[in-house]
Chains A and B, each alone.
Chain A
Amino acid sequence: MTNVIAPPAGPARTRRPSGGLFRLSTASGIGLGIGLVWFSVLVLLPLSAVVGAAAAGGWSAFAGTLTDPQTFAALRLTVVEAVLVTVVNAVIGTIVAWVLVRDDFVGKRLLDVVIDIPFALPTIVAGLVLLSLYGPDSPVGFNIVNTRTGIFLALLFVTLPFVVRTVQPVLLEIEVEAEEAAASLGASRFTTFRRVILPSLVPAITAGSSLGFARAISEFGSLVLISGNTPYQTEVASLKILKFLEGDNQAGAAAVAVLLLLVAVVVIVALDILSRRVARRA
């Protein structure tokens, strides 16, 4: 693996180092205090405000917003598109990682850099990049504006690196001996892949897929120009929040936002558990 812009490597987990941990001194205690105050002002209080605004109207108002047909259609479209993109990424991402690790050809390093580009680009630019080829005056005669295909393509673009970058390092570490043994016992290449290689890749594929899923659910910037924002057709959750906010319906915006927050938290916690389990097994 050469370089990754923001390696999608899961939470910044802290292991207990082999040496001891220091007790908090006065200075480090003050430091921790200042850090926590800033973290609360920047992250915790605003996020609590979202939960507060969503809860202010009580359960019925919250459920009412989410089951409103138009909002529900947006949520369903978001989930369906994210699931589709995640499945495609799990397969294609693994293939891309495989080719980058095991194959060897001129220009492979360049391809390795190309993987990072979608992640490094600002999201609005990512949308514009896709529109330049698949937009209104497309040279290939293919207009994705205001279509579900367009949303799919944009999500595929921005989530490209996740599975590739989590699977690649694992694939690099797999011992060729096990494959050799399987082959010498008469296993075909496909059987070897399915029985020997795939099982050790599953944690990495799962981790990459969940990160990609979380990203797809919450994606906003790259969809702004592409999704036409037509209710029931091409409106996704994040754009629905924007519409609520522009219509001065902060409770509605907060209700959808809480749902997105929940997905983010679930993914983070799941990844934390997964990585701890993998670390323990290793």
Chain B
Amino acid sequence: MSVYRRCDGVTRRGSIQLGLGGFLGTGLVAGLQAQADNPDGPSPAAKATSCILIWMDGGPTHFETFDPKPDAPAEYRGEFSDIETSVPGVGFSENMVRLAASLDDFAMIRSIRHDQGNHGAGNHYMMTGAPPRIPVGCGAFVSFHPSMGSVAARELGQDNGLPAYFSMPRMSRSGGPNFLGAQHAPFVVADDPNRSNFKVRDVALPRELSETRFTSRTELRSKVDRMLRIRNEAAGDPSLAFDEYYRQGHDLVTSVAAQQAFDIHGESDEMRDRYGRDSFGQRCLLARRLVEAGVPFITVYDGGWDHHSDLFGALKTRLPAWDNSVSTLIQDLKERGLLDSTLVIALGEFGRTPKISTWSGQSKAGRDHWANAMSVLFAGGGTPGGTVVGATDRKGFSAVDRVLSPENFVSTVYTKLGINPNKVLYTPQGRPTHLVSDPEPISELL
């Protein structure tokens, strides 16, 4: 069963039985048709202006997070039990306490599957919506298509001096701009916001430089930079672009708003505690601050989900904090009235094998790569809370109900951000490329 009763007592199937389905359905088709007629226009489903992507690199287990299989035999079920969520009939794994209690605020997709069972390829597929063009190995970092973040940066832009795409603490694999060009690469904030001396690279003055000296240097620079500028645009003088970016950079450094966005120390201790005093929690908090400053796309890269061994031991310590940080992020955005305009998405490149395995040389069991099923958390931007889309089979082998593709997922993100997933981009070679080859979004989330 993929259709669950929502807290207001009306199931989606119920709404169809009430005769609303036809109306809604027509509306959707008409909307999409309008979009096709006006290929670059935003979809009526466009609600979000920002997206926080929590990238669980390595491929998080769906069993121990959002898709437990309590009735499966022990070698599939694992060591954790399931707990009830705020949506009757839907269970999460036992460590997802706070998220389970607040499922009304977000949606789960349990039925995305694909065919790329190694890290390099899986990352690329989920991060860009395009399967890798050639076979790709596990350790590979590949790029054949622009990532969601780079596309959002290009399409939504940014005019207040802040970069449009952030990635913390590093760029995710395949998170780059590919043919869109370096100006749409993520701005990487490598430093750890949980450290007391945290600051964002290059945006704050170097540590030893006083503000007075910076000001006098800037004045000096305006006197020293005397290369003749060729003002006629037809002349294509690159120093004009240099000036423009220099001005933007200077604005960013001197902009109170921008500096405030980065100043995590401006948060109260109470708020910082709420998010959790670890690197991941504080990055979630920083992401929220960036959303407030108008940044369209922020990737919070969260590595180490490749639990081939010691799955249960590792998750027992990790998941409670993770659950707390992510649920706090969603709650905090909601309290600030930002959840309607902000997508929060958490996923990795694939799910993990149903049957628990212990590799030779290892004493503690884990699960291996499994692209036939995975769980994706999807919140905000008008996403109907409490929705659970699709289902895997009894043992979690495979998405079986409402099977969806990475293309559907990425199209949903784009649609919510007001970007037409069917848009045609041109590579520098002039080759037309669809933003997403299957532009069908997941209708339940719109």
Q: Do A and B come from one complex?
A: no
Residues of B near any A CB (own CB < 8 A): none
Residues of A near any B CB (own CB < 8 A): none
